[in-house]
Amino acid sequence: MATAKHHHSATKTTANGGANVQIQRPPPPLPNFLASVKLKYVKLGYHYLVTNLLTLCLLPLIAVAAVHVSQLNLDDVGNLYRQLQYNSIAVMALGGAALLGFTAYLMTRPRTVYLVDYSCYRPSDDLKVQFNKFMERSKIHGGFNESALEFQRKILERSGLGEETYLPAALHCIPPAPSMAAARQEAEDVMFGALENLFKSTNVNPKDIGILVVNCSLFNPTPSLSSMIVNKYKLRGNIKTFNIGGMGCSAGVIAVDLAKDMLQVHRNSYAVVVSMENITQNWYFGNKKSMLIPNCLFRVGGAAVLLSNKSADKRRAKYKLLHVVRTHCGSDDTAFNCVYQEQDAAGKTGVSLSKDLMAIAGGALKANITTLGPLVLPISEQLLFFATLIARKLANTKMKPYIPDFKLAFDHFCIHAGGRAVIDELEKNLQLSEEHVEPSRMTLYRFGNTSSSSIWYELAYTEAKGRMTKGNRVWQIAFGSGFKCNSAVWEATRAVKPSASNPWADCIDKFPVEILK
């Protein structure tokens, strides 16, 4: 498909199906253009002034101090030295206190958590599902009525998904053959496929792993998924394992947060996080429309992430973890019920999505960024935000709230590819550009909604495009049932090149593609 570009033209198709006509849009009026340029530079000047305000204030003090030092003579220096000799006990006490304080700081400060590398699972080509194949298999199944089939067709066309997403092998069978054995096979393919590539790219011995966190919302067998990994790779007996279930698409950030907390306790350790979802036994075969949407969006995928608190890994690590902010809105009944696994009137199990979902997600995002903002935004943006907030409280309640410019805090955005509406809403609310949301849109198009692992496919896209340079900050945003909004902030420790197993390696030159609206 054609590559998306920014331009000031529109395409019009004639009613009789004639050739497309390019209509040039007139450029913006010159006065408005000049005004916008002036406003841009005024804002840049404001941010520069506030950011460097402390330095600018200290410069006169430094100059005065330098003048006084230059006027000191040898007698003054000798007097100062003799006074220090007479008060040697006080000097030694202060030095000792400073040394103890510095030692205590080193002992108690949070350990830096490094992301050494990660791997995204790439299913085999025979698992690809084109739209016509999806609809054909749905008709053959026979459980869907005409209304349900037409609803799924419309959702697919508007979903933002492309023709190369993947479904598990059991759903390619005619008729579909979901079973516990097939679900286990899907889980093994995803987990072990991602882990094999991770161990290969990092040269880490599986027996060196001290912490393992696996998250999968809807498939929780016994023995657990984490136990399946321990058994496969014969991990050591004292490994700390965790299996997170039922926490939706935001569980990947929760898993990273748990691993981070464990790495604060256990020195010189590796932690592996495996994020995935399992579709085989969670396909809905009924006709309730709110439960049919996940069928059209969710696809096979998963990611494995290697974290470390070893200082020796600083050089080879791709990123370091700066912040994790988690927001839970589950105390609100509407938020709690907006993503709900249940049985329909015919007794068929599926996940129902409420019409209130986007409003709930917007509220959760607002609460999350209220906590995240002070941690990442420059002081200039915080001052504008609080000044507007006070003005709204005191003067004019109808004044629009000031939306902080998160583009000043982050270079890249990995928005959970939950669906086209989710990406559109965050692009609008955070005032992001098309390039900022490009990784999310292309991940949804190429791989579909892979649940908690989607933010890693998006990061892999950014790396494959060669856009990640040293010092760049990445914001991963994920939403999940409950209802939750979770954020993780990473900083690139070097110019990051894509791994050999990057899932975009053989197709990145085709992207971005134009997605019809």
Catalytic annotation present for 329: no
Catalytic annotation present for 449: yes
For 283-400, strand residue ranges (E) read 302-308, 319-328, 339-343, 349-353
Neighbours of 277 (CB within 10 A): 28
**Among residues 295, 368, 449, 486, which one is catalytic?**
449
Contact (CB, 8 A) for 418 and 479: yes
Q: Give the three-class secondary structure for 160.
A: coil
Q: Of 505, 500, 496, 98, which Cα lies nearest the Cα of 317? A: 496
Q: How far is 261 from 258, CA to CA, in rounded Å?
A: 5
Q: Of 398, 415, 397, which Cα lies nearest the Cα of 406? A: 415
**Among residues 416, 436, 485, 502, which one is catalytic?**
416
Q: Is the peptide bond before 483 cis (omega within 30 degrees of 0)?
A: yes
Neighbours of 449 (CB within 10 A): 25
**Among residues 412, 414, 485, 502, which one is catalytic?**
412
Q: Of 426, 429, 407, 428, which Cα lies nearest the Cα of 415? A: 426
Q: How far is 165 from 147, CA to CA, in rounded Å?
A: 24
Residue 364, strand partner residues: none
**Among residues 278, 287, 309, 328, which one is catalytic?**
328
Distance of alpha carbon 472 from the chain centroid: 14
Q: Of 460, 468, 458, 408, which Cα lies nearest the Cα of 437? A: 458
**Among residues 120, 216, 249, 329, which one is catalytic?**
249
Catalytic annotation present for 249: yes
Q: How far is 154 from 289, CA to CA, in rounded Å?
A: 12
Catalytic annotation present for 416: yes
Q: How far is 481 from 331, CA to CA, in rounded Å?
A: 12
**Inter-CA distances, 296 with 161, 340, 411, 481, Å:** 9, 17, 31, 18
Q: How far is 349 from 341, CA to CA, in rounded Å?
A: 7
Residues annotated catalytic, as ranges: 249, 328, 412, 416, 449
